[in-house]
Amino acid sequence: MDQFVCVRLVQTNGLDLSLFQFDFDLTFSVFFLNADKTIYGRFGTRSSREEATEDITISGFRKALEGALILHKTYPATLQIVAGKRGPAPTFKVPEEYPSLREYKPTLDYVGNVVTSCMHCHQVHDAQRKLVRSERKPLPDQVLYPWPMPDVVGLKLDPKERAKVEHVEPGSAAERAGFKAGDEIIYLQRQALLSIADVQWVLHNAGPAAQLEAIVRRGQDAVNLTLSLDEGWRRKADISWRTSSWDLRRMAAGGMLLADMPDTERSQSGLDEDSMALFVKHIGLYGEHAIAKNAGFAKNDVLVAVDGKTNRMSETEYFAYVMQNKLPGQRMPMTVLRGGKRIELTLPLP
């Protein structure tokens, strides 16, 4: 690391969003840059709330560092294979230009209360969703399912490596493309990869349906593969772990934290495996997070019908249904199971 100039940024306030486009639900993210602001790569991945560090390892970080140094030593000859790492021009140059974040200043208040002056990274995701919602539009998949893990396309990558395939999910887009366990993905969409975050960057920017060109190292060979992603490919992602999903719970569930009931508990409640059974793990008490409570919902209720739908769905699928089909101000009829009885309630959407 002493071959790098090391900078620690602790605030989202004033962040240059034309340069720093990353998964804003992370609390730890790394950029490898040239002094001219060319991005060599990113590091930092998370797919779980409880196991915050299972997706990153020291070994993987070291390999990303080594890769960045190689790119730097050969720069600008390597410009072509990192050019795609800068994102499109952002809607707003800095986070505090988002309508819902205008209360924040571009700098932190170390003289007064630094915490209240400090914008959390995840608030950028919140602001993006609030903006779309305020325009009364369905949330696009890219905004609802940001920074997909490679698992979504069937690739389990080894966190101890840069982008090495540990497992390919049978029947997945990755298997159809010809990926095999042990493959090292060297390029994806002509971008050199330093980490799983770099793979996520390509996936994040892929279209609703996409063809992604990959070059993998397989033994001594370089193999060209094409990853074909069908319409709706992102929807396999689980976003429930994300801090920014807390605000989705306000917008889509009136403050309820929901969990798909496991099969073992379903049988005890007389629910089959194909039916909706969303258990209310928590219910908000204040502001718009108390909408569900004020509408008569309670902790430990089980949602068994939502807006006429009774098919099994996860909390993420529930978010998607509401955020892509319902508008603020609408009311959703719901059936809940409480103490063995079915109760009809209506949830107003903020």
Partner 1 sequence: MVRRTAIWTGALLLAAIPAAAQDRETKVRNDRQQIENDAKWIYNDLEQGLRIAKNEGKPLLVVLRCIP
Nearest to 213 by CA among 263, 178, 253, 259: 178
Q: Which is nearer to partner 1, 31 or 179 (CB)?
A: 31
Q: Which is nearer to partner 1, 57 or 100 (CB)?
A: 57
Which amino acid makes up residue 116? T
CA distance 102 to 20: 19
Nearest to 256 by CA among 231, 228, 288, 232: 288
50 DSSP 8-state letter: S
Among 21, 55, 65, 317, binds partner 1 (CB under 8 A): 65
CA distance 216 to 194: 13
Nearest to 13 by CA among 89, 113, 92, 120: 120
Among 33, 155, 157, 196, binds partner 1 (CB under 8 A): 33
CA distances from 189 to 151, 193, 225 (A): 18, 10, 11
Binding mask 109-128 for partner 1 (x = CB under 8 A): -x--xxx--x-xxx------
Rule CB under 8 A: say whether 326 interacts with partner 1: no
Q: Which is nearer to partner 1, 66 or 265 (CB)?
A: 66
- Chain position carrying tokens 């060599």: 40
Q: Which is nearer to partner 1, 116 or 269 (CB)?
A: 116
CA distance 262 to 271: 10
Cβ contact 306:325 at 8 Å = no
Rule CB under 8 A: say whether 5 interacts with partner 1: yes
Among 48, 49, 51, 53, binds partner 1 (CB under 8 A): 53
Rule CB under 8 A: say whether 52 interacts with partner 1: yes
Binding mask 79-108 for partner 1 (x = CB under 8 A): -----------------------------x
Rule CB under 8 A: say whether 77 interacts with partner 1: no
Q: Which is nearer to partner 1, 133 or 200 (CB)?
A: 200
CA distance 9 to 35: 16
Among 17, 47, 55, 61, binds partner 1 (CB under 8 A): 61
Q: Which two tokens stand for residue 330?
A: 């609408």
Binding residues for partner 1, rule CB under 8 A, total 51
| Sites of contact with partner 1 (CB under 8 A) | 1-12, 15-16, 20, 22, 26-37, 40, 44, 52-53, 56-58, 61-62, 65, 68-69, 71-72, 108, 110, 113-115, 118, 120-122
